[in-house]
Chain A
Amino acid sequence: MSDIIGIIIAATLTLIALSQLFKYTRIYRIAEMSSIAAVVANTTVVAVITIITKSYTPQLIIPTILGLSYFSLFAGKYRWISRYPIAIMVGVGTGITLRAILQSQFIEQIIATIKVFTTFEPFNFINALILAAGVISGLTMYTFTDKYSKELNAVRIIGRVFLFIAMGTLFATSVYGDYTLAYNRIKFILDFFTGKLF
């Protein structure tokens, strides 16, 4: 029984959410509010359970106190106390990011571009040159100096073309999965009305 009710709720919410495509109506807020409530409830339950079980660990006593200081946000004038936990979080995040960012996103990309040059055979060589030229002009597009602006602007346009070609390509390869999802939802609604789901 609860399965059938579940399917009916799911189909109704799906239809309501899809209705937003054609016209925004107030009924759409039911779908919005349902999912917000579910998401917030879920994260809150997980957070509370974790806080209750973990806060007694000696290692985590300081962050527990700092975490409680977040509540100073509601105290108006003493809002600044909440900056201490934020400062720690930002420090951790920045440190973690700076660690490996150049390894995977900079050096390995350079290596991959160098390795494309294998032979002097014209077809391979020209392709490799296109790749290298694209990378270099793309990087030039991102320079911010106002010197040599005439010369640089010409290269910047070429770089922009490469960046946009990448956007077009990634769009074409990615929409495939998104259309699968769209088609599956339409099929779900059709199956619901033809009674295949029950």
Chain B
Amino acid sequence: MVKLIDFIDSSYFSHIMLVFIAVLFIVRPLGLPVVVSEQTKSFIDVIESLKPGSNILIQYDVTVAMYPSTGIPTEIMLRHVMEHPFNVMIVSGGPEGPKLLEQFLGGKGNYNIQEMKGRVYGQDHVYLGYIAGGETMYVSLGSNVHGTVVKDYYGTPIDDLPMMNKINTYKDIDLVIICEAGSDQIDGSVRVWATTYGRKLIADIGSSQYTATLVYYPQLVKGIINGVKGGAEYEYSKGKPGPNIAGSDPLTGLLFLNVGLIILGNILYYSKKRGIIK
């Protein structure tokens, strides 16, 4: 008995349980229910209520290490946006953004954009690449797009791209979508796009940024996708099960395992203290 409790008290027990639960759910997915939260619902509503031909700016600041927790949820969002007849302009404020987005634009991601018919680069979507400068850069991008960026990611002057003639300042942008992970820049983005320029803003963020973003909901940020959880809700409400729903099963398991471990820890702690277990 004492040995068993010592084993449970050691870290090995929780490590083994974690690996066990993760493997179990990967091998045998249960198809647990998904509840679509209010923030996700309003995120989708904002995109679907836009008129055809609207201009969207996507701020893509995902890092390599955080890709599983933030990048994969953004894929479904990018795909959803691309399915509608919008003009999509994408820009990265972080140096690791381009390599990751290239996978998506090149069709290597979980959703294949190359299969989508009718999407032509330069006419309905443009990628501006990585631009240094953080918040200051976004301010100047909003005031004068053509003055801030000269060439797109592939080296074409942006004046030659037909879509970019429609976008000159922040007034031409109807919606801004923030994809953010790891960096503490959500406040800066809200300051620039919502407070200064008064644009409609929605955010697709990693769960570590969720509390920071929730402060602005629903006044400044109109909708939030919360990491893989939000991605799963997105896929569920679009009726297209994908990697996010597959990933949300083990997560339910792991989070409940965590709750169980905390309760177990307290029970054992008090039993020992009261002398119930010797």
Contact = CB atoms under 8 A, between A and B. Distances in A.
B211 A183 contact: no
Interface residues of A, number: 21
A186 B254 contact: no
Given A104-B187, A170-B211, A183-B254, A177 B26 contact: no
Contact of B68 (A104, A169, A181): A181
Among B12, B226, B250, the most chain A Cβ lie within 10 Å of the Cβ of B250
Main secondary structure of the interface of B (DSSP, over half): helix
A94 interface: no
B206 A177 contact: yes
B4 interface: no
B227 interface: yes
A151 B172 CA distance: 58
B23 A176 contact: no
A187 B26 CA distance: 7
A169 B15 CA distance: 23
A22 B226 CA distance: 32
Interface string B46-83: 00000000000000000001101110000000000000
A180 interface: yes
A182 B207 contact: no
B186 interface: no
Given A22-B12, A177-B207, A183 B22 contact: yes
A182 to B, nearest CB: 7
B227 A186 contact: no
Contacts of A190: 23, 26
Interface string A8-22: 000000000000011
Contacts of A170: 211
Contacts of A21: 11, 15
Contacts of B19: 186
B237 interface: no
A22 B211 CA distance: 33
A173 interface: yes
A180 B247 contact: yes
Among A170, A184, A190, the most chain B Cβ lie within 10 Å of the Cβ of A184
Nearest to B187: A104
B271 to A, nearest CB: 23
A176 B207 contact: yes
Interface string A175-198: 111111111101100100000000
16 contacts: A112-B215, A169-B211, A174-B207, A175-B258, A176-B207, A176-B228, A177-B206, A177-B208, A179-B255, A180-B207, A180-B227, A183-B247, A184-B69, A186-B22, A187-B26, A190-B26
Interface of A: 21-22, 104, 112, 169-170, 173-184, 186-187, 190
Interface of B: 11-12, 15, 18-19, 22-23, 26, 65-66, 68-70, 187, 206-208, 210-211, 215, 226-229, 247, 250-251, 254-255, 258
